[in-house]
Amino acid sequence: MTESARQALVGLRDFTTLQWYVVPLLALLFYIYIVEIQEARKSGNWDAVIAGAAVFGADFVNESINGWIFSISGYSALWLAPGPTALRTLVGWNVEIMFMFAIVGILYFKSLDDDPKATVFGLPNRWFWALFYSAISVIVELALNKGGLLVWDYRWWNHGLVEVLPIFVFGYLWFYLAAKYALERPTLRGKVMVPVALFALATAMNVVGLGVFRWTY
């Protein structure tokens, strides 16, 4: 096991590390979703809430897979978050990351044109904004890596284009494409089932990994 992996296990799900700034962040998250839910109840359009839930659910799946890789390899996860945090929820996930991904799906939705066929710089607008937010996410991740807050232990996980492209596609782009897919379902039930399926998959993985196999990640 790498030194970064050992550090990521320190304080794992230890609520004594909580900081007061989590409280206003939680209040802000509640405010955002309550506003969107109130709007949805008036208009009957739940797309903002669904997009937010889909992106967060996709991130939950990624972090669960990352935890499985950590436990099965006995070496390290694909990424680790060993730096300071108010609460490390999984070896590569913390409460700050969770707040971000709980909100960014709504940002993605708010960026979309009302016309699904609209384009931005010649690209379908839903694809453009998925690519845009994925690129911003990669830039932020590179900065966090530079600061030692987000660590990659595997040698092939460097800053070259070949290595950054999988981060772009599998680390972020599919989150927004999951939201895009949900928004394009023809019925409300079909839209809701996308985040429900993502949460169900992630929950099942953690029930098995943490509960049945008793892995620590």
Report domain extents, the chain.
3-212
pLDDT band at 156 (very low <50, low <70, confident <90, very high): confident
Per cent of the chain over pLDDT 90 is 94
What pLDDT shows up at residue 158? 66
Mean pLDDT of the chain: 96
What pLDDT shows up at residue 155? 81
Give CA–CA dist 106/98, Å, rounded.
14
What pLDDT shows up at residue 163? 75
**What is the distance, to the nearest Å, from the Cα of residue 30 to the centroid of all Cα atoms in its chain?**
18
Give CA–CA dist 95/52, Å, rounded.
16
Helix 22-43 crosses helix 95-111 at what angle (to 10 degrees)? 30
**What is the distance, to the nearest Å, from the Cα of residue 205 to the centroid of all Cα atoms in its chain?**
16
Would the pTM count as exceeding 0.85?
yes
Residue with tokens 């949805």: 40
pLDDT at 162 over 80: no
**pLDDT tens, residue by residue, 43-63:** 999 999 999 999 999 999 999
What pLDDT shows up at residue 86? 98
Give CA–CA dist 137/199, Å, rounded.
22
Residues 112-136, mean pLDDT to the nearest whole number: 97
> Which secondary-structure segment (H or E) carries 185?
none
